[in-house]
């Protein structure tokens, strides 16, 4: 049986691999690391690049925290136990070139010390893409890569987790998806997947290791494309939607804030700049209008 220490060690290794690969892809930016401890138990490694060649702000965070759950989290989970352990890697990247997409990845593990017979432990995570401009070829490459990873473990994982992502990364007050989706899953355990704990752990690591080759390819495809001030203004507008989702709906942000997480690490998902233009309407038949028309649930990108 895998232990929480083994899971945390594997996630640290994945953080190291991704940071090294992103520094190589950017060619300029270097991660600054902050080690932190959480009052109540545990801590983490926050790593940030700012103002790189292509990565305007990139955060690759590892955490392993433990302690007592706040009442609001216990109520949300439907549990009475207090003691918990949670570990994971969380990534958000905001590029400076509007043709390179925003990307988010998270892999995580959670367990509680329970006096009941019920086993309170699970894996969660996913990867999703938020292009400022939706490029069909890039989006299909992204989704096909995720499907290839999912198919190695269970044939229905991609379709199920893709729908989950469409539903989760949805900005209800805008009636639009945050981006072009990806995969999202939560509370995976042997009962919900018919896989063993070891197999679910291998899936979690595979998702984590899908991130780097996929995103570095998207950087390579788009890093030399020229852009205008209008393109950048649109980028700042799309970033504002990202902010709205993370502050209003994102469960990870809420969990971090409600469990007394390190604020700078919790909010590293926010971009360095975002704009809110009043009642913006794109020009007919423009790239901006095309992108808005593709921010919908249920699009088959395979």
- What positions carry a catalytic annotation? 104
Cα radius of gyration (the chain): 19
Burial (Cβ within 10 Å: 0-12, 13-18, ≥19) of residue 17 = middle
* Structure-block tokens of residue 174: 């805008």
Give the up-direction half-sphere exposure of residue 111: CA atoms within 13 A in the CB hemisphere: 16
Q: How far is CA 271 from the centre of its chain?
A: 14
Is-contact 134 291, C-beta < 8 A?
yes
Residue whose tokens read 């805008």 = 174
Beta strand 121-130 with 170-171: parallel, antiparallel or unpaired? Answer: unpaired
Q: Report the C-alpha gap between 32 and 30 in whole angstroms.
A: 6
Residue whose tokens read 């473990």 = 153
């Amino acid at each position: 049986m895998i232990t929480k220490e083994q899971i945390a060690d594997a996630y640290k290794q994945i953080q190291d691999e991704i940071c090294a690969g992103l520094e190589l892809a950017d060619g300029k930016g270097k991660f600054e690391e902050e080690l932190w401890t959480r009052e109540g138990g545990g801590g983490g490694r926050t790593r940030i690049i700012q103002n790189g060649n292509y990565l305007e702000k990139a955060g690759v965070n590892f955490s392993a925290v433990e302690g007592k759950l706040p009442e609001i989290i216990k109520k949300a989970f439907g549990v009475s136990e207090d003691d918990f352990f949670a570990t994971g890697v969380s990534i958000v990247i905001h590029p400076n070139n509007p043709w390179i997409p925003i990307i988010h990845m998270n892999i995580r593990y959670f367990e509680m010390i329970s006096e009941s017979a019920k086993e309170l432990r699970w894996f969660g995570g996913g990867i999703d893409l938020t292009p400022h401009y939706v490029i069909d070829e890039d989006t299909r490459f992204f989704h096909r890569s995720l499907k290839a990873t999912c198919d190695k473990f269970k044939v229905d994982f991609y379709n199920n987790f893709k729908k989950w992502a469409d539903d989760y990364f949805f900005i209800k007050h805008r009636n639009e998806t945050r981006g072009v989706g990806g995969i999202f899953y939560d509370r995976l355990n042997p009962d919900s997947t018919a896989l063993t704990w070891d197999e679910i752990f291998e899936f979690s690591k595979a998702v984590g290791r899908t991130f780097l080759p996929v995103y570095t390819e998207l950087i390579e495809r788009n890093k030399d494309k020229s852009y205008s001030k209008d393109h950048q203004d649109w980028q700042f507008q799309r970033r504002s939607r990202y902010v709205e989702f993370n502050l209003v709906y994102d469960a990870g942000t809420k969990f971090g804030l409600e469990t007394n997480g390190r604020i700078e690490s919790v909010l590293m998902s926010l971009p360095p700049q975002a704009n809110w233009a009043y009642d913006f309407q794109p020009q007919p038949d423009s790239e901006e209008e095309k992108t808005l028309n593709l921010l919908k649930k249920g699009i088959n990108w395979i």
